[in-house]
Copies of this chain bind each other. A is one copy, B any other.
Amino acid sequence: MKTIDVCLSPDLMHLYKVHDRTVVVVDIFRATSCMTTALAHGIESITPFASLDDCRAMKAKGYFTAGERDGKKVDGFDLGNSPFEYMAESLKGAKIAFTTTNGTQAIAKSADAKEIIIGSFLNLSAVAKYLRNGDNNVLVVCAGWKGKVNLEDTLFAGALVELLKDHIEPDCDAPLAAQHLYNQAKNDLEGFLKNASHVKRLAKLHVFKDISFCLTPDQFNVIPVLKENVLVPYVG
């Protein structure tokens, strides 16, 4: 049976061999929720950047610049980190250069993987189906918050472990912990997360609508897949 493991923080990536794995990068609030939403709404591609300056430089090449630092939109960028911004008709066919505090860093640290896909609750079932049908062992990489473990990304990892339990075996304790947490939380994800640190951080920015949306499963069938360092849509 294939196996699934969970890396609870990008700062633990040195412990995992990924050259033969499919890596699922997750940053629920809000990078990977935005990426999924964007590609579901006709945006052509998203190029992730770990560095703010590298991202900014893409403006001159005709890209929309997008992302956040510490939860806030970057000065001078075209777009922030709310999924609702990525639904605009005017962005159809656009190329976006994207950088965030945690999510794009997690993608950068997964560079050695056999393949990298993007997960969020918004495309949960599509990602589970993709992994079930694929040949590779799986590593879910939680973006966390500046290296620290967070609840929302852990819950998404647990949702995947739970959905795949008859097909893909957990190969260490982190996937078991995530699965237990998800099963405890699944009937009320928002309630379960009300004391989570990033929910409190986002509440200060008054983005309650974003929180609810990012926790709503199965809004889209699209999976952002990294091809030559660019995220493009895959629809199964």
Contact = CB atoms under 8 A, between A and B. Distances in A.
Interface of A: 8-9, 11-12, 14-15, 145-151, 154, 170, 172-174, 176-177, 180-181, 184-185, 192, 195-198
A172 B154 contact: no
27 contacts: A8-B8, A8-B149, A9-B12, A11-B11, A11-B12, A11-B15, A12-B12, A12-B147, A12-B148, A14-B147, A15-B146, A15-B147, A148-B172, A148-B173, A149-B173, A149-B174, A149-B177, A151-B177, A154-B173, A154-B177, A173-B197, A176-B195, A177-B177, A177-B181, A180-B181, A180-B192, A184-B184
Interface of A is mostly: helix
Given A148-B173, A181-B181, 19 more contacts: A8-B149, A11-B14, A12-B12, A12-B147, A15-B146, A15-B148, A148-B174, A149-B174, A149-B177, A150-B173, A151-B173, A151-B176, A170-B195, A172-B197, A176-B196, A177-B181, A180-B185, A180-B192, A184-B184
A198 to B, nearest CB: 8
Q: Quick one: which of A9, A15, A173, A185 has the most chain B CB within 10 A? A: A173
A189 B174 CA distance: 17
Contacts of A150: 173
Contacts of A198: 173
A174 B180 CA distance: 14
A203 B232 CA distance: 46
A168 to B, nearest CB: 15
Contacts of A196: 173, 176
Contacts of A15: 11, 146-148
Nearest to A151: B173
A14 B12 CA distance: 11
A108 B146 CA distance: 24
Contacts of A185: 180
Contacts of A174: 148-149
Nearest to A147: B15
